[in-house]
């Protein structure tokens, strides 16, 4: 719904009605011109005049209510007693303090020495326990931090060494042991030929028909092999003389 210029003018005038006094023509300059424009609009607009009259009646009712006192004149009140007490306190003489008392002329007032001067100690000596504690803390930090770093580095090195993979173990060489040679008497270079006549001959019999044992020649005893090594004299042992275990 579009508003007409008359509706817009009514809105502007109604916004200014509470600020317009009934008998106030002393507004200077632009305010007087604005007041005359509002009055011209009120002369031609009946709804705006009715609104102005309603506002005037409301203001009169408020002024009448403000003129009436909420308390009866003969009703008791605490305000006079409060005013009398305030006035009496303001007129009462102020008590004199120690600083306001007159001092004797001959008395010498010496400044009160500081606690440090009375005890014969300087402020540094009073704070010496705190300074000593601070110095001890700094010394402990300066000594403990390098030790802690060194211990941390040592533990890290041990952890790295323990977590490193182990190198492949070297394979042991197999131990080859030569089998022992059986101790047999050395064969003679020229073996004696066997007596074929004795081997093929029939056994001898006695008169009763029993066989007679003929003694056969016995072979010469086997001679032990010559010892050709001596550990005490440094002569090495031949490898073929080893048994089923290492000789050294």
CA distance 48 to 17: 9
Judge whether residue 167 has pLDDT over 60: yes
Cα-Cα end-to-end distance for the chain = 128
* Mean pLDDT (whole number) for 243-248: 54
Structure tokens at 247: 């000789």
**Cβ atoms of residues 225 and 186 within 8 Å:** yes
User: Which of these ranges, 60-74, 135-149, 152-166, 230-244, has the smallest mean pLDDT?
Assistant: 230-244
Name the most confidently modeled range: 76-80, 86-90, 120-124, 146-150: 86-90
* DSSP label at residue 214: P
**Cβ atoms of residues 240 and 181 within 8 Å:** yes
- Helix, strand, or coil (residue 212): strand
Judge whether residue 103 has pLDDT over 70: no
Structure tokens at 131: 């300074």
* Mean pLDDT (whole number) for 241-247: 56
**Cβ atoms of residues 242 and 180 within 8 Å:** yes
**Cβ atoms of residues 220 and 191 within 8 Å:** no
- 219/34: higher pLDDT: 34
Q: Tens digits of per-residue pLDDT, 139-151?
A: 887 877 888 788 8
* Mean pLDDT (whole number) for 86-100: 77
Q: Work out the pLDDT band at 182, boundaries 50, 70, 90.
A: low
> Is 0.75 surpassed by the pTM of this model?
no
Q: What mean pLDDT, rounded, does the chain reach? A: 70
**Cβ atoms of residues 212 and 206 within 8 Å:** yes
User: Which of these ranges, 60-64, 160-164, 177-181, has the smallest mean pLDDT?
Assistant: 177-181
Position 1 scores a pLDDT of 44
Judge whether residue 184 has pLDDT over 70: no
* Mean pLDDT (whole number) for 97-122: 57
Position 101 scores a pLDDT of 64
Position 86 scores a pLDDT of 92
**Cβ atoms of residues 79 and 44 within 8 Å:** no
**Cβ atoms of residues 22 and 56 within 8 Å:** yes
* Mean pLDDT (whole number) for 113-118: 52
- 238/66: higher pLDDT: 66
pLDDT above 90 covers a percentage of the chain that reads: 1
Judge whether residue 82 has pLDDT over 80: yes
Q: How many distinct helices (H) and strands (E) make up the chain? A: 8, 2
Give residues with Cβ within 8 angstroms of 216, minimum separation 6: 198
Q: Work out the pLDDT band at 161, boundaries 50, 70, 90.
A: confident
């Amino acid at each position: 719904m579009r508003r007409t210029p008359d509706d817009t003018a009514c809105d502007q005038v109604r916004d200014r009605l509470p600020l317009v006094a009934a008998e106030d023509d002393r507004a200077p300059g632009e305010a007087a011109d604005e007041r005359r424009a509002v009055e011209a609009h009120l002369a031609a607009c009946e709804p705006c005049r009715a609104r102005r009259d309603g506002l005037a009646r409301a203001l009169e009712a408020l002024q009448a209510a403000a003129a009436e006192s909420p308390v009866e004149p003969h009703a008791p009140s605490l305000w006079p007693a409060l005013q009398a007490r305030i006035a009496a306190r303001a007129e009462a003489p102020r008590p004199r303090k120690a600083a306001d008392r007159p001092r004797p002329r001959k008395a010498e007032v010496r400044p009160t020495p500081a606690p440090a001067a009375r005890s014969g100690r300087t402020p540094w000596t009073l704070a010496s326990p705190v300074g000593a504690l601070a110095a001890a803390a700094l010394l402990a930090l300066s000594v403990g931090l390098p030790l802690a770093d060194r211990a941390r580095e040592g533990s890290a090195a041990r952890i790295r060494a323990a977590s490193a993979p182990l190198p492949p173990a070297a394979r042991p060489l197999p131990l080859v042991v030569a089998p022992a040679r059986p101790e047999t008497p050395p064969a003679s270079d020229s073996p004696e030929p066997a007596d074929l006549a004795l081997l093929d001959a029939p056994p001898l019999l006695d008169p009763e028909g029993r066989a007679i044992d003929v003694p056969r020649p016995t072979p010469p005893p086997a001679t032990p092999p010559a010892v050709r090594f001596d550990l005490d004299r440094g002569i090495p042992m031949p490898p073929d003389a080893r048994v089923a275990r290492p000789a050294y």
